[in-house]
Every structure is written in structure tokens, then in C-alpha cells.
Structure 1
């Protein structure tokens, strides 16, 4: 018998078995979808939890809830560690992705000793609930978390994923006293920004004629917007993965991939709804209007939401591989608010960002590798982030090696360092020119006109025949839901699949990896993916050219009241307040007067900052030494983290305002006790060299500090032993 015939027979047997097992996994997926949808409060959390607050019982009821995550066996939680609060996005899917698996945002935070809470939501919104009501509820949730942890050394760290990120930023601008560090992951904040030839999702609003379709969908849904539409928009961004790769990956690895696939699909198919007012606010004010960074969104009492009012450190996590929230949309708001890093500092803001090279939008939340690296480092070093001097930083991660300097000071497998950056580093990630800004401003005006026309002439007709029965029928008939229902046990044609699949598992005969027909299968799959990718690229290119041509028309821009002479500043730059400059001038005068105040602690912080500024960043090893020293002091002398943070900020600003006067004051502030000076200098040396020996300007600064601390006395040569971990 020819060898090719044997290979073909083996491949045909394997392919038939894989096909049947694939159908069985689809059946299990459909059944899991039906079970998930039947639950009152479905979620995909991988941890046990207890209800703390039900948003439906609040004065302004919402479908949100606060739960406390129960630590798994073997995980110890510290009472002094700040709590973490993870808020999942309500963007079409149900809650739980932040604690989807053991290696997740919640999982790594608990392993770092932090108590964890989770803010989730029910599938159906409370009638009449608005975005403002949700913000009010989340504020009450955070207040309750703070009340439960009076011994915590800092306010809660809040993680906002995707659309929860902009909601967290808005709330932090309104209620800054409730927040510790904020981590926003894959969260769009500057919705017009992008790079030509990439990330075409930003053109969608203009190509659809604005938000009138959102209003139409909500009216047909009897006052509710089906989140399946949002999920479908996401899937349309990558047709090769949606139509082929995801399913083929399961089919080709059917013996090992089923469990992972079913776990993810349990979340992917959990579609939820939003009230019409909620989704209309999101589309009009954010995705098309781009009003958040410009300060044009107002609260119920008329107060403008100004992101510069946030007093907590802001950590932005984004990826170049994310076609939903690319780096320019995640970070462009910084350029909208500030003209320089000094302006960032003048508002007392600390902004830390990190850019992944290839992770997709979902990978930012669900990847176990990212959880073990980025989120693990954020969790372990959240106090370092909280005490960073105001400014703009990029968090970098270097693999810890055995021969690294002071490797025992590193908490995990990676060394986190916060490097000082400028606004030019943000601009390098991509930003619009003035012409593109006018195009998007024109699209926003066209959206307003079309929405007004729809509401005046068509909305009354649509609402006249729309009703809850029709709305529910439309939701159940949505293609994304039908694909689950069709392959579940609700379909009688799937009845024989389970029995046949069990028999196949008992008689499974996988094909040999070197089978030539298997190679042909892989080649065919690659060609399908390439064809779908070419189709996507063609459609995206046409969409971009269409948007640029239509909304670049000077006639249309003039009709919409967009002056072609306007620069980017007048279109969406946040306004500057003269009162702010007056407050800055007053604070500068106060700090100048305080330069000669203080004692040994202030001098140590002043010296460490002066040396560290030459290195242009902060390493987690240096902060770990400071942490150990702080904890090693007696309780009545120990500074709280808040007090230490305040001291760092004051000494940092003094160095910025008048470096020479600040340094020259050190000898007069030091105690006469030479032993105390020697010990303090040894501590400064240890902090400064924790990440490696000093060279160049940093070494020169260290020598100057030694001279200031010695005050003409003999040089201190002895370095105190390192304080042991507490």
C-alpha cells in the first residue's frame, strides 16, 4: 500500500475525530452559555467572594455591587497593606475578567498581601440608572472599603479595566479623597488620537454618521442597548481571528485546548445591556465628542470634570498591539491637559505609563504572563508608585538575574524602574495634526445634527411600535447569541454528538505530527488567515480614505462651524485657569520659606532625591531599602506612608525651585551628633547604590552630599549593615 495512501487514511481518521470533538466542544460552549445566562448574577470570577454592598439598595439604585474576595488557602493578607479594588468594564460582557484566573489582577494583588475587592454588575440595568448614578455608587463602595481598613497604610488602589478606566478617572476627578494609586488598563481617554494607517476604530463614529444609530438601537431595544453590538464591533476589528483562527486553533489542538477555550468563551458570551441614557452618554461625550480631557463634561450640579483635579498617581497600561485602545488614545489626554512636565508637577500629578509591544486588547486583562509580570510588579511596588515625586514616568521591567546588584531586594522575577519622561515621548507614540483634529471635530458636529434630526422626525415613529417583547426577540436573534444557542442541547440535532464524542475519545488516534496532509492543513489555514487579513486591510484603508476625504472637506467643515484657521488648542485643549497660577505662586513662596526648616529626616530625603535626579528614575531596590528603614524605626518615630509621601514631595519641589539654597541649608539642619550624621549618610549611600554603583553626575552629587554631611569633619567610611526585611 503506498505510503501516501496510509498517510491520507490516518489524516482522514484524525480529521473526522477532531471534527466530532470540535462539535462537542461547541455543544458544551452552548450549554455553558445557557447556564451562565440563567444565573441571577453571572460572573467568571475564579475566587470565592462575599457581598459587601448591593447597589440596588442605594438611594440612587444601580445594578452594581461590591464584593470582598476571599483569599485562597495559603495566601496571607496584611492588615496594613492598602486594599485593591478592581472594577470591570461594562462594555458588552459580564463581570469577572479581572479575577478570571489565579494569575490575574486580583490573584497577584492578593499574593502581594493586599486585601482585594471587586466591583461587578448584573446583566440588566436598573430602570433610569445613569452614568452619574454609577459614579455615585462607586464612590460609596470606595468609602466603605476605606472604612473597613483603618489600619491600611494608604487609600485603596483602584484598577479600572477598559471602559471602567475612564469611569474611574472621572470619579477620581470629582472625589479625589477616595483614591490611592489608580491603574487604568486598556482605557481610552483621548478618543480622536491615532496613527494614519492603524487603529481605524476611531473612524467608526464618523463613517456611521454619528450616534443616531446608537439612539435607534436603544429605541428598538425598548430603552435598552444590547451589549452584543459592542462585542460585535470588537470582533469586526479582526475578522481572521473571529471567523477562522479562534475556531481553527481549537480544532487543530482539540486534545489540549478545550478547557482554555471553554473558560474564555464563558465570559465572551456573557452579553449584558445598558440603559439608553448610559450608552448615549458614552458615545456622544466620549467616543465621538471627545470631551473628557477637554473638561467639557459636567456633573449633575454643573461642575466641570477636570482630570487635573486627580491627586492620586495614575498608572496607564497600554499596548501597541491593542487596536481598540492604542497608546495614543490611552495617553493622548496628557497632551490635551499639559504643555510641559513642569505643568504636570504644578498640579501635583504623578503619571506613570508602560507600553507593551504586542499584547492585544484582551491580553491586557486576561494574559497570565502579563499578570505575573506587569500587574505583579505594580502590586508589589504600589507604595513606590504612590510616593514618586510629581512628574511623568515610564515603568520599565528588567528580568532579574542572579548577578544583578542587590538582587535580594527584588520582590519578584522582574525589576521595576520608573524612568523620567517628557511630553515628546508621548508625542512619539502618535498624535493628530491640526487637520485631523478639524476632521474629527467636524464628525462630532455632524453627529449632533444627525442625532437631532433622528430625534425630531424618526424617534417618535420607532418608539411607537417598539415594545419589550420585540426588544427581547431582537436580542435573542442577535447572531452572537444564536451561535451559542444553535450548538447547545436546546438544538435536537446536537443530541447524538455527546454520545459520538465519548466514543471517539475512547478510540482517539491522533495523526503523526510529520503527516504531510497535516502540513497541507496548516498551509491552507495560513492562506485563509492571510486572505482575511488582506480583506481587513483593504476595508480599513478604504474607511480611512473615506473619512479623511469626507470630513476633510472645507465646505463641510465650514457648514459645521469649524474654522480652518483653528489650531488644535482651540478644538480640544483644556482651558488654563489664572487662579491655578496664583495658587502655584503662593505655594512656591511657602516652600521657599520652608527650605531652612526641618531636621535629619528632611536632609536625608533631600539628599537622596538630589542624587536620584541625576539618574533620571527610581528603582524598586532603592525604595525597598527605604521601606525597611522606615519599618525598622520605633512606632512612635515612624512616619506613615502619607507623611513620608508629603515629605518627599516638599523636598522635591524645594530642589526644583532653588536647588542651591536647598542644598546649602543641609549643614544647618543636621544635628551636632556625628554618629547620627554618619548613620544617616550611610543610609543615603545604601539607597543611592541599591541599583548599582554611582557613576558620572550621580557620583559627583554623592561626593557633594558627603561633604555637606561631614561639615569639615573626617570622612565617614563605615556603612551600616542593611536593615533586614520586616
Structure 2
């Protein structure tokens, strides 16, 4: 088609158009027409892909081959979930003794598979690390009568099946829950804590009232719709089924600039290179599923509006309380400041809701680790390749270290090796560090809590119950009487989101010419240069449209927030629903049950009697934990060397024994620090002076893994050296003299080195800065070899 267009001679164009504006306009017009044809053809392919996907019995977007291991429809309480084993791709070897990984996909309107969407995904990272991987997905339609409790029980059954399939692995499965799957696996872990290994919840909301004013507009949705009665109405219009497209529509409304313009313009502007990526994502984004009416009502009433999960107010139908404090596995919370669906306060607010302070977390023997990304969006948390290669890869590589961390609250940060002075000590391109945190610091840096907002959300919960009762009394019987299954299916088919896919597909007769026109364009494509004047103007106009939609979104969100705060902040309204008075507490922290308090007291008494029990292994571990407890950060290097040292000291011990030893010695130090340290010489009783000296060398080796010790840690280590010296004094006299001399020499060398380093620093500070030669500067830079990091010391690739 384009070859038939006559092209004027270049000389004539230069004479008639000396500034080239006319030529630039013609080139832009031709390119714009061609891009329009290709864009419409991509949309046609999107529609065909959508129709093909939804017509499958078990649609998913997994990028890996899988086989069904367990079908949830065969359980005593059937659910539309299934457990699949991921088959490793060619060239990937799996170690059957490694800890199994289980990824649970969110059921929030879209179909399953997002956790294994592409090679750089949560599943892909775990496979490359050699872990057996499993995937818990779901089918498009729920089983009749299926409830949230049934889904939770099914996930517990799936995990027990995974444990049975890997008897050679002594570690419990690591479970990854994305978005809505996060609160499901936390509920399951609180009911059956013994079935779970470490838990990673990515972008998962657990505390729904939490949030910062000016952000997180989704938390106001329940109040602006008058409660959950509209959820019941939508289920009644669906004949007992809730259309997941409604949830997707809510997500899209959060960012109108991306939904209505940016996403489509990005495809149009780069249609030659963007089509494949766009179609792959749309295959998941358009794979809408259906939820049971009873399921979504439970979720909206108890979680979104009632906020009962993070305050231990949920009770199962058989009388078991769902208390997240029962979780015994380490919990890793991954969230992002750029996430407007699950902002950090909603992902981390449950910690504040359940615990008074760090001592409370430790008393419950819980390890909570959180990582806050700076900018990635909600989907980027578990879809972005850059996030998978960095954060998820580090979580996977350090899962054993996370599993052995003493109870407490920790913040993690991922730093690049290129940004560190000790890059030659690192084994990978990134390092995951752990910093102890307090509840007060979490409130200050992340949660931004306001007590008066709790009263407003509690008012919404009461009004929701009233409106739901009125709807069920007056309107529900009439709607259920007139709705039929055929009418419900027609309503789902005519949903605007679904209709947009169907109208631009081969089933629309008007789209017949599109593939022919697109082939003509591809055969003689005329892309223009990015410097074209009119292409630049196009980008400018696009940017202005996007900024305009963002401005409208900000005005809309501010108006909604102000209306919510004004309406539900009225004292008269709060009093009318029974929430008046300043003394009323609306977010009650659940108290500790008497049984749990007695358990903690028995545990403390047991540890008190174990202070002086044990031997050299307990002494070494106690010493290392004490010294590292004085450091503001710790990382994987200490763990690896400590684990290697224990393997040398006690080759027959397992990783589980090692973890038990670490946790027990931590608790002993936490509860009885002075007595535990004073008992170290007694723990080394019977050991030779040479053996004690070797133990101290092991400790030196472990502590040197992360570079220089802090001043506080150095003082603690001096105390440990003195305790080991006391143990040496009790050894054989001849060995004792030699060991004490060696220990004295080591201390003297350390002191002299410290003095020399301090003198050198003072000299450098006093002297004028000397300019380095180019050769010297180059010599001190870390060398790179084919993209691999090269050690400064050996010159070999790490």
C-alpha cells in the first residue's frame, strides 16, 4: 500500500520546503497512520487472546510447565483450588533435599499465574536456586457453597501434601502469598502453625483501617458506598456469584491516567517493539474470574470494613480464634511506598495492632522482617523483573538465615555490591542486611497512625451492618425473585471491561480488514526518527494529557477523603451508632489469653534452669549472639560463617539443630544476660586450652565476615575474650600458659592495630589532601571482568 504512494524528488522538496517542516509533517502523518493500523491489529489480537483464554477449563498465565498434584474439588469441603508442581525448565537442576517453595496466587478478580508469569518471577528465582516449587492456583468458578474457611483449610491440606512429597527435606515449605493470598496464608498459619516454614507476604493487606492521610484512597471505598450492602447487591444480581471484573474496575479507577491513556499510548508510540509485552500482560489482566457471593461478603465485612483479622476478632465456624500471634514461622512483609492498593501501613499495621512492643513480639517467639521498596507499584512487587532479580532473589538466598533470626522486628535493606567498600567479601551482586527495629520506630517511619481515624472507620462498620440489614429485609427478596442465571450471565458478558475485549476481536465483522492492512504496513514500514518535530509535539501532548488526568485524580481523591472525614467524623452520627464518648476504644489490642501467659511463664522458667547447661557449642553460640547484639546491623555473612563453624565443630548436627540452638541461646541471653555470660567459663569446663583457643578463633572468623565491629560490639567482644581467658586458666597448667600467651598476643596485636589505625586517621585528617595519580586511582577501583565482580585480593572471579 505504501509503495504506491508517489514520493516527490528530494531536490524539489528542499526548494519548496527549505526548513523541512513539510517533509517532517508528511513523515509523521505516514508513521501515525501506520502505527494506528498496527495498534488496532494488536487490540484485535488482544480480543482473540481474551476469548481463547476464558474458554479454557483451567486458564492460567504460568510461564512454566506444571502438573496437578492435588485437586481441591476432591476434598471433603470442595473448593476451586488446586496444587500444582512446577516442572523445572531445561538446564535447571532441582535439589530434592532443598526446602520446597509454595507460591499462592491472589484471587482478586484476575486469573492465576502471576507469581510464575515470566522467567524472572518468584517461581523462576526459586527454581534457579534449586528449590522444588509448587503453585496453588484456582479455577474460574467457585464450588457451590464454598467459603473462605474452606479455602484456608484447603491450603493447609496442600501444604501437608507438599511436606509428604519431600521426606528427604528437613525444612518446612516456604510459602509466598501475593496480595489477597497473603491474608489467606496468614489465617492458615495461625490455625495450623506447624505446617508452615517461613512466610513471605508481598503486597498483602492485613490492617485495613491503617493508612496515611492524602494517600491510600481505597480504604475510604466502604464508607463512600454506605457499607457492604452493594457487595450483596452485586452477588444477588449475579445469582450468588460476584463478578471479578468489578474488582478489576476498582483497581483501574485508582489510576485513570494509566488506565485511560498511558498504557494505551505506550503501546501506540512503540507498537513495533511493545506488542508482545502488552499482549502477555493483558492475557492475565483480562482473565477475569468469579467469586462466590458468600466468600466476597465474608471478605468485605470482616476484613475490608470490619478490620477483624489484625485484631484477632475472627472466629471459625467450629470455634477456633484466628490470632496472627499464633504464627510460629518467620514472616517477611514486602511492600512499597509506590503501592496505592496495599500501602505500607496496611501491610504492616497488624504488628502495631497485635503487640505493645518488641518484648511482646519476643515473648510470642515471633520473627517479623519487613522490606519497604521506594517506588514500585502494586503489581511490580510480584511481577517486576528488576524486583525479582533483586529483592526476591535475596529473600530466597537468605531464607535459612531469616529462619534462624532470633525473635523480634527487623527491617531489611538490599544494597548493591558496587556501592559498598567491602565488595570483595560479597558472594553475589547484592547484600541483604537486617536492622532491629521498635514498634515506636515503625509507627514513626511507616504507619503514620491517627486515633481519630479509627473512630471514623468503626462508624463505617456500624453503618454497614445497619444498611446491610435494611437491604436484606426490604430489597434482597425482590431482587432474588426476579434474577435468573441467564440474566446474570448476560450482565457479566455486557460488563464494559469484558465488552471492550470482545468488540475488538475477530468475532466483530468490522475487524476483518485489520490483519490484511497490518501485513501491508509491516512489509513496508516507515518509522520516523525520535527527533521529528511532530513526534516531539505528540509526546508533549501525551504528557500533558497524563498530567491532567493525574491532577483530576488528586482532586477526586482529596474530595473523597475530605467527604469521608467530614461525614463520619460527626459526633452526632458516631453517637447514633453507639460510638460516642472519648473513652471508647475502637481498635482494641487483643489481650493475651491465660493459657498463653502460662506457657510463656513455663518457657521462661525452663530457660532459667538451662543457663548453665550445655557445652562448648552453647558457649560459642552464646558468645557470637552477644557480640552481634551490639551491632546496629547484621547480614548473611555472619550466618554462613557461623553455620560453617558449627559444621566444623559438630559435623553430625543438622540445620534444624543449629536453628534450635540459636533461638534457645538468644532467649537465654534475653532473659538472663548476666547469668548466661558468667556461665560461659563453666560451659567450657573440661576443654583443653588448645580447644578453647580454637573456639575463640572460630568466633574471630565469624565476626570478621561483616568487616570491622562497631564500638559497642568491640567492647562486648573484649568481655567474651576475658571469659574465655578464665576458662583457659582452669585448663592444664602447661597448656594454660601457652594459651594465655597466645591470647595476650592476639589482644595486644588488636590493640596496637587499633591505635595505629586511629593515628593514621588523625594524620590524614591533619594533612592536606594529596591528589592521586590516574594509575593509583585506577588501581584502587574494583575490577570488572565480563560483567563478573573480581576480587581485589586474588584477582579471581567470585
Aligned pairs (5 A) from 1:230-379: 230-379=247-396
- The question of 1:130 aligning with 2:147 is answered yes
- The question of 1:61 aligning with 2:88 is answered no
Q: Output the aligned Cα RMSD.
A: 1.5
> Aligned with 1:255: secondary structure?
helix
> Aligned with 1:353: secondary structure?
strand
Q: Is the 8 A contact 2:109 2:244 kept in 1?
A: yes
1:715 equivalent among 720, 732, 742: 742
> Aligned with 1:690: secondary structure?
helix
Q: Is the 8 A contact 2:425 2:705 kept in 1?
A: no
In the alignment, what sits opposite 1:574? Answer: 590
Structure 2: where are the runs of 5+ without partners? 1-15, 730-739, 748-798
In the alignment, what sits opposite 1:664? Answer: 678
In the alignment, what sits opposite 1:415? Answer: 431
Alpha-carbon deviations, 1:549-607, whole Å to 9, x = none? Answer: 11001111011111331355x53322233443333222222211110001111111101
> Aligned with 1:256: secondary structure?
helix
In the alignment, what sits opposite 1:722? Answer: none
Q: Is the 8 A contact 1:437 1:571 kept in 2?
A: yes
In the alignment, what sits opposite 2:565? Answer: 548
Separation of aligned partners in 1, 2:316 and 2:492: 32
Separation of aligned partners in 2, 1:110 and 1:95: 19
Aligned pairs (5 A) from 1:598-613: 598-613=614-629
Q: Is the 8 A contact 2:203 2:381 kept in 1?
A: yes
Instruction: Tell me: CA distance 1:632–1:541, structure 2 relative to 1, closer, same or farther (3 Å).
Output: same
In the alignment, what sits opposite 1:109? Answer: 126
Alpha-carbon deviations, 1:123-179, whole Å to 9, x = none? Answer: 011111111111111111000000111121310000000000000000000000000
Q: CA deviation at 1:108?
A: 0.4
1:514 equivalent among 527, 531, 542: 531
Separation of aligned partners in 2, 1:86 and 1:630: 32
Q: Is the 8 A contact 1:154 1:642 kept in 2?
A: yes
Q: Is the 8 A contact 1:405 1:690 kept in 2?
A: no
- The question of 1:469 aligning with 2:502 is answered no
Instruction: Tell me: CA distance 1:162–1:298, structure 2 relative to 1, closer, same or farther (3 Å).
Output: same
In the alignment, what sits opposite 2:793? Answer: none
Q: Is the 8 A contact 1:87 1:160 kept in 2?
A: yes
Separation of aligned partners in 1, 2:122 and 2:371: 16
Separation of aligned partners in 2, 1:54 and 1:307: 27
In the alignment, what sits opposite 1:701? Answer: 716
Alpha-carbon deviations, 1:672-691, whole Å to 9, x = none? Answer: 22232222211111111201
Q: Is the 8 A contact 2:313 2:321 kept in 1?
A: yes
Separation of aligned partners in 2, 1:241 and 1:697: 50
Q: CA deviation at 1:303?
A: 1.4
Aligned pairs (5 A) from 1:614-625: 614-625=630-641
> Aligned with 1:359: secondary structure?
coil
In the alignment, what sits opposite 1:652? Answer: 666
Q: Is the 8 A contact 1:291 1:572 kept in 2?
A: no
> Aligned with 1:248: secondary structure?
helix
Instruction: Tell me: CA distance 1:501–1:406, structure 2 relative to 1, closer, same or farther (3 Å).
Output: closer
Q: CA deviation at 1:644?
A: 1.6
- The question of 1:143 aligning with 2:160 is answered yes
Q: CA deviation at 1:409?
A: 4.8
TM-score by length of 1: 0.96
Q: Is the 8 A contact 1:406 1:691 kept in 2?
A: no
In the alignment, what sits opposite 2:53? Answer: 36
Separation of aligned partners in 2, 1:221 and 1:451: 17
Q: CA deviation at 1:298?
A: 0.7
Q: CA deviation at 1:365?
A: 1.3
Alpha-carbon deviations, 1:81-131, whole Å to 9, x = none? Answer: 110000000000000000000000000011111110000000011111111
Alpha-carbon deviations, 1:432-480, whole Å to 9, x = none? Answer: 3221110000000000000011111100000001111011101111111
Separation of aligned partners in 2, 1:630 and 1:529: 58
Aligned pairs (5 A) from 1:219-234: 219-234=236-251
Separation of aligned partners in 1, 2:622 and 2:494: 66
TM-score by length of 2: 0.88
Q: Is the 8 A contact 2:443 2:449 kept in 1?
A: no
In the alignment, what sits opposite 1:479? Answer: 496
Instruction: Tell me: CA distance 1:718–1:79, structure 2 relative to 1, closer, same or farther (3 Å).
Output: farther
Separation of aligned partners in 2, 1:160 and 1:503: 46
In the alignment, what sits opposite 1:686? Answer: 701
Q: CA deviation at 1:660?
A: 1.4
The structure that has the greater radius of gyration is: 2
Q: CA deviation at 1:406?
A: 7.0
1:401 equivalent among 418, 425, 430: 418
Structure 1: where are the runs of 5+ without partners? 720-726
Q: CA deviation at 1:695?
A: 3.3
Separation of aligned partners in 1, 2:158 and 2:424: 39
- The question of 1:586 aligning with 2:602 is answered yes
> Aligned with 1:53: secondary structure?
strand
Separation of aligned partners in 2, 1:523 and 1:495: 34
Q: Is the 8 A contact 2:643 2:658 kept in 1?
A: no
Instruction: Tell me: CA distance 1:582–1:403, structure 2 relative to 1, closer, same or farther (3 Å).
Output: closer
> Aligned with 2:321: secondary structure?
coil
Separation of aligned partners in 1, 2:41 and 2:453: 50
